[in-house]
Amino acid sequence: MSELTAIAPLLVVLGGAMLVLVSDMITPGRRYAPVALALAALGGASALLLQQGGANASALGGAFVAGPFVAYLGLLGASILSITLLVAPDHLALRRYPSAEFAATILVALSGAILVAAAADLVTLFIGLELMVIPGYLLAGFAKRDSLSTEGAVKYFLLGSFSSAILLFGIVLLWGSAKTASLDGIAAAFASGASTPALAIALAMITTGVAFKIAAVPFHYWTPDAYQGSPTPITGYLSVGPKVGAFVLATKLYLVALLPLAATWMPVIALLAAATMTLGNLVALTQSNLKRMLAYSSIAHTGYLMVGLVAAGAGERAGISGILFYAAAYAFMNLGAFAVLTAIQGAAGATTQLSDLSGLGRRHPGLALLASVFLLSLIGIPPTAGFFAKTYVILAAVQAGGWVALLAIVAVLNAAVAAFYYLRVIVYLFMREPASPGPEVATPPLLRAGLLLAAVGTVALGLAPTPWIEAVVRAIAP
C-alpha cells in the first residue's frame, strides 16, 4: 500500500467537506444537495477503507498508520455521520439553519477522528483530537439565535479548550519523560513500569484531559447544557461522535503508550468508571427533559465503556474489542433515540419533555415501536446491540478477575438502575393517554431512512454479532 492509498480516505473526507462548501457558494441555501455530496464523500471514503482492510501501512513519516483498526473506526464514523446527515437536514431547514455548513463541519470532525485512530505519535494524536472537537464547539452553538444553545456552546468551548490545554500539558510532560513522541516508543521507554514524579504529573493531567473529553465524572458538567441547547440531531451526533473519538484517543494513550504503567492508572480509571456509571444513572433518574436524560444516560454509558478500558489495562484483549463493539452499539442505539426525538419535534420550537411522548404509541405506533427498540437496547435487554455490548465489556472485566470483576457487578447493578428511567419513557409511550394537543410528528423520507439504519444496526448487532466480533478482533490484532 502506497502512502497515498493509506491517507486516501482522510483526503476524500476532507475533499468532501471542501466540495460541500464550494457547492454552497455556487448555489447557496440548498437543503439536500450538500447532504448528497457529503454522503457521496462518505461512501467513497468507506469504499477505500474497506479496501485497506488487511495489513498496516504507515504514511507521513510514520505518524499515520492505516490498517484494520482505522478501517473499523473509519467505517463506524462514516455510519455515525450518515445517520446524522439523514436525520438532520429537514429539522435544521425548518429552523432556518444552513445544512451545508453543518455537513461540512461534521465531515471535518470525521477527518479528525480518522487522524486520531491512525496516529502513531503524540503530536498527530493531539492534532487529530482538536480537529475532531473544534467542529463540535461550532455545532453546539449552531442555533445561534437561541440563548440556551449559546450558553451550552460557550460552556462546551471553555471547558473543552481548558481540558485540551491540560491534556497538552500532560502530553508534553510525557514526551519529555520518554524522550520520544512515538506511542510505541513511549511504551518501550517505560517498559519497566517504574514511575517518576514527572510521569505521575503527566498521568494525572492526561487522565483529567481525557476524562473531560469522554465526559467522565467529575468532569462531565458541560454535557447536559451542551446537549440540551443544541438542535436535537446535532445533540445526537455530539453524544456519539466526539465520545467515540475520545475513547479511541483513550485507548491509544492508555492501552498503547501507557500500558506498562497500567498498575498505576487502572485504580484511578476504575474509580472514575464506577462514579461515572453511578452518578450518570442516578441523575438521569431525576430528569424530565429527554435530552438531559439522554445526556446523563450517555455519561453512564461512558462509565460502561471505561470498564472495558480497565479490563484491557489488566491485560484482557477483550477489553479493547469490547470498547470497539460497545462504541458501535452505542452509536446505533443513541443516534436512533435522538432520531426519534427529532421526529417528535415536527414543529419549530417544539420541546422534548417526557410528557411530550404521552400516548405516542397510539398515534404513531411505528415510531413508538422503534423508540422502544432503542430504549430496550440502551437498557441492555436481549436480543439487541446494547445487550451484547454490555455482555462483551462485562465478560472482559470478569476475565480480568480480582477487583476488576467487582467493577462488572457495579456495572450490572447500574444497568438495573438505568432500566428504571428508560422504562419510564416506554410507560409514557404506551401506558399514558395521548396529550392534547400532542407534539407535531414529522417523519420526512430522509429521517425515516436514518431511523431505519439505526434500527437495523441496533438489531443486527444483537441478533448476529458474529461479523462484528470478527471485525473488532481483526481491528486489534497485533
Of the pair 306, 376, the CB lying nearest another protein is at: 376
C-alpha cell of residue 273: 468508571
Does the footprint of another protein cover residue 408 (CB under 8 A)? yes
Binding residue (CB under 8 A) for another protein from 60, 201, 262, 395:
395
Do the beta carbons of residue 418 and residue 386 sit within 8 Å?
no
Binding residue (CB under 8 A) for another protein from 120, 255, 381, 451:
381
Of the pair 84, 384, the CB lying nearest another protein is at: 384
From 18-26, 75-83, 416-424, 436-444, give the range in contact with another protein by CB under 8 A: 416-424
Dihedrals φ, ψ of 117, to 5°?
-65, -35
Of the pair 21, 397, the CB lying nearest another protein is at: 397
What's the min distance (Å) between Cβ of 275 and another protein? 20
Measured distance CA(400)–CA(311) in Å, rounded: 6
Q: What residues contact 350, with CB distance under 8 A and at least 6 apart?
A: 344, 356, 439, 440
The candidate with the shortest Cα–Cα distance to 397, out of 385, 405, 406, is 405
Q: Supply the DSSP string of 4-65, one letter for each residue.
A: HHHHHHHHHHHHHHHHHHHHHHHSTT-SSHHHHHHHHHHHHHHHHHHHH-SS-EEETTTTEE
Does the footprint of another protein cover residue 364 (CB under 8 A)? no
Binding residue (CB under 8 A) for another protein from 382, 434, 438, 444:
382
One character per residue 332-361, x = contact with another protein (rule: CB under 8 A): -----------------------------x
What's the min distance (Å) between Cβ of 217 and another protein? 22
**Over the range 416-453, which residues count as b (16 or more CB within 10 Å of their CB) and which as e?**
ebbbebbebbbebbbebeebeebbebbbbebbbebbeb
CA 206, distance to chain mean position in Å, is 19
CA 56, distance to chain mean position in Å, is 24
Of the pair 412, 460, the CB lying nearest another protein is at: 412
Of the pair 10, 314, the CB lying nearest another protein is at: 314
From 111-119, 171-179, 248-256, 395-403, give the range in contact with another protein by CB under 8 A: 395-403
What's the min distance (Å) between Cβ of 305 and another protein? 18
The candidate with the shortest Cα–Cα distance to 386, out of 452, 316, 453, 457, is 457
Residue 169 host element (H or E): helix 147-178
Binding residue (CB under 8 A) for another protein from 84, 99, 230, 399:
399
CA 136, distance to chain mean position in Å, is 12
The type of residue at 205 is M
Does the footprint of another protein cover residue 477 (CB under 8 A)? no
Of the pair 247, 428, the CB lying nearest another protein is at: 428
The candidate with the shortest Cα–Cα distance to 86, out of 471, 473, 456, is 456
Of the pair 36, 423, the CB lying nearest another protein is at: 423
Does the footprint of another protein cover residue 405 (CB under 8 A)? yes
- For residue 387, the number of C-alpha atoms closer than 13 Å in the C-beta half-sphere is 13
Binding residue (CB under 8 A) for another protein from 285, 416, 456, 477:
416
Binding residue (CB under 8 A) for another protein from 40, 256, 398, 452:
398
Binding residue (CB under 8 A) for another protein from 172, 419, 435, 442:
419
Binders of another protein: how many residues, by CB under 8 A? 32
Of the pair 205, 411, the CB lying nearest another protein is at: 411
β-strand partners of 119: 64
Do the beta carbons of residue 280 and residue 248 sit within 8 Å?
no
One character per residue 445-474, x = contact with another protein (rule: CB under 8 A): --------------------xx--xx--x-
Measured distance CA(36)–CA(331) in Å, rounded: 22
Binding residue (CB under 8 A) for another protein from 149, 297, 391, 443:
391
What's the min distance (Å) between Cβ of 180 and another protein? 36
Of the pair 238, 394, the CB lying nearest another protein is at: 394
Does the footprint of another protein cover residue 172 (CB under 8 A)? no
Binding residue (CB under 8 A) for another protein from 210, 216, 343, 394:
394
- For residue 349, the number of C-alpha atoms closer than 13 Å in the C-beta half-sphere is 0
Measured distance CA(153)–CA(146) in Å, rounded: 11
Measured distance CA(52)–CA(8) in Å, rounded: 10
Binding residue (CB under 8 A) for another protein from 32, 221, 403, 420:
420
Of the pair 22, 431, the CB lying nearest another protein is at: 431
Q: Which residues bind another protein (CB under 8 A)?
A: 361-362, 376, 381-383, 387, 391, 394-395, 398-399, 405, 408-409, 412-413, 415-416, 419-420, 423-424, 426-427, 430-431, 465-466, 469-470, 473
